[in-house]
A and B are shown apart, each in its own frame.
Chain A
Amino acid sequence: MQRDEIQTAFMNPTSDKSSEVSPKWWWHIAPIIMILVLCALGVRSLITKDSRYGWGTFGRQTIYTLKYEWEFSDGHRETYYPGDELRRDAYTLLTSIEQRNTRYGPGALPVWINGYCQYMWDYRPDGAVAFHTTLKYELDRSRREPISDAAQTAFFQYPLEVSP
């Protein structure tokens, strides 16, 4: 390889000085699909504030607490503490016993919680009409103090409409 060719190859990888290339049309699909999918996942993570699948880990650090309740047909509610249906990572993220934190952004929490509410509905006790979750969270703060009253609160329920 001549010196100028070497220089071109190293210093300017996008140079068009070397031989012309014309691949078959289907070869163009791979890079286009890769760019579209990765960019779509990245934009999705920015919009939903859920950095999973979008490379935005550590953008926000979310501290949160969870409270689960069964609502019964007579209107009363009973607090529920997760059992062994939550294991390992699922337990770490969704236990209601203590304050938790996640690096994946506040948008990931509703996904996990909604999924858990749906899952629990299949194992509902007799007379239960809905499964409720109360999420309190704050962003980018120390966990040495308990979550303050100023924390943002979100409510989740499954099924969405409680039958009479």
Chain B
Amino acid sequence: MIARWNQFWYEERSTQSLCLLRIFFGAVFLMKMTGFGNLQYPFRWFMEFPVHKFYDEIDYYLHGFHLPVPGFEWLPVLNLWQYQILDYMLLIAGVLFAIGVLTRPSAWVITVIWSYQFFVSQFSYRHHIMLFLIVMTIFAFSRCDEHYSLKAYLRGPDSDRPKRSILPIRMVQVLVTIIYFFGFSGKLNPSWFSGDIMLAFYDQGSIAGDFVTLLDLFFSIPLFSGLMELFYRSLAWFTLVVEGGLVIGLWLPKWRRLSLALGLLLHLGIDLTMNVSTFSFEMFAVYLAFILPESGQHTVFYRGDNAKQGTIKRWASLFDWFQRFTWVDVCKEGAEADRMPSDLRSIQITGCDGVVRTGKDAFIWFCACCPLLFLASWPMMGLRIIFHRRSST
């Protein structure tokens, strides 16, 4: 029992997953600090460096009734100017944290400042702020800059990085489970069972946004108008099933991919229709804690002398910007002939699960292995295309 406990919490692993989590969480933090909001009103996005929570004294509630969290009444109340300085500090620390320079001090700065803002007033409470606070605290104590960071890049090859305790990743995994467990438990009431709650959200304007406007247009068509109530009730049932299922599903290897996909769908839906700030993006990021394979563990065999396979390799590499796939050209790798597939008519992927896949299966595997990275690689893809064109000329 004790051995299993130790194994679960303290097994030594590469910190690559943790470092990936740092990058994505850092990116979401920068979204928060620049006002790059959620998908509810995507055409109203604007960025500020930094975005301030308070712009004037009229709004600044620390000078009025602000209700500190019990036990934190001793916290000093800053004036508006001092509070805005904290926003600048958070932005700078967020940039350093995301790129991986002075990472742990930056995480500490963020943790301390957000703790202040969190505890100085109960009106600062938001789920996404609490999630930031907990995960940043975990980062502040962990070696999250040993890979995928500017510091690691300047230091040289990744090969000499020691393995570390998996504790930070496990803590994030347990945190996600607890979030879903209590989120699900809080919804076990008649309004959710009947689906009435979604209609109430809709009526009260809690469900709104550009996507909802499109839905309204769709349901204004006489043929579909009768489906509106059923649609919103179904959303409630879907939420209940997915949140309950994620508590267990994320821990079961066979169900993990389906769970992650459903979780992504759930949070995408929430983000499109409700004002939850960056909470959905934070949940997307923390899902990385459940994607354990390290870089280069999937091996792709291809023939470099085959034009089609060479093209596929080049395109796939554009998406694989964390280099999770090791590409082996069977025409060049003669020294390892015993590892090579004998008759390679199409690209072959040997996944980290040890299964060999070809053709459509290989493509699906490629997409499914790292769906988050796949999505996130779109902005990078533009840069890589330019780079490739230059290098090819």
A: which residues have CB within 8 A of B?
Answer: 1, 3-4, 6-7, 9-16, 18-23, 27-28, 30-31, 34-35, 38-39, 42, 45-46, 51-61, 63, 84-91, 93-94, 101, 103, 105, 111-112, 115-116, 119-120, 139-144
Contacts and interface: CB of A to CB of B under 8 A. Distances in A.
B281 to A, nearest CB: 16
Contact of A85 (B3, B65, B141): B65
A116 to B, nearest CB: 6
A61 B6 contact: no
Contacts of B130: 53
Q: Which of B7, B60, B186 has the most CB of A within 10 A?
A: B186
A74 B247 CA distance: 58
B6 A88 contact: no
Interface string B184-209: 01110101100011011101101000
A116 B67 CA distance: 8
A56 to B, nearest CB: 3
B178 A10 contact: no
A122 B123 CA distance: 20
B179 interface: yes
22 contacts: A7-B354, A9-B13, A9-B293, A9-B352, A11-B253, A27-B9, A27-B167, A34-B175, A35-B178, A52-B122, A55-B179, A85-B64, A85-B65, A88-B59, A88-B61, A91-B61, A101-B204, A119-B67, A139-B191, A140-B196, A141-B203, A143-B204
Contacts of B8: 13-14
Nearest to B59: A88
Given A61-B204, A86-B65, A55 B123 contact: no
Contact of A35 (B10, B167, B174, B203): B174
A56 B196 contact: no
Nearest to A56: B186
Residues of B in contact with A, size category = 35 or more
B300 to A, nearest CB: 15
Interface string B320-361: 000000000000000000000000000000001110000000
Interface string B169-189: 011001100110111011101
Interface in B1-29: 3-4, 6-13
B259 to A, nearest CB: 14
B115 interface: no
A15 B10 CA distance: 12
Contact of A90 (B67, B181, B185): B67
Contacts of A101: 204, 206
Contact of B185 (A19, A56, A142): A56
B292 A60 contact: no
A30 to B, nearest CB: 7
A38 B203 contact: no
Interface residues of chain B: helix, strand, loop or mixed (majority): helix
B123 A90 contact: yes
Given A7-B352, A140-B197, A45 B61 contact: no
Contact of B171 (A31, A45, A141, A144): A31
Given A14-B4, A111-B122, A45 B167 contact: no
B182 A60 contact: no
A13 B292 contact: yes
B127 interface: yes
B49 interface: no
Contacts of A120: 65
A139 B204 CA distance: 12
Contacts of B67: 90, 112, 115-116, 119
B179 A116 contact: no
Nearest to A18: B11
Contacts of A58: 186-187, 197, 201
A142 to B, nearest CB: 4
Contacts of A1: 297
Complex A-B, nearest 5 residue pairs according to Cβ-Cβ distance, in ascending order: A56-B186, A59-B186, A142-B203, A42-B182, A89-B123
Interface in B359-373: none
A130 B186 CA distance: 35
B206 A10 contact: no
Given A84-B64, A90-B67, A144 B203 contact: yes
Contact of B12 (A6, A13, A21, A142): A21
B383 interface: no
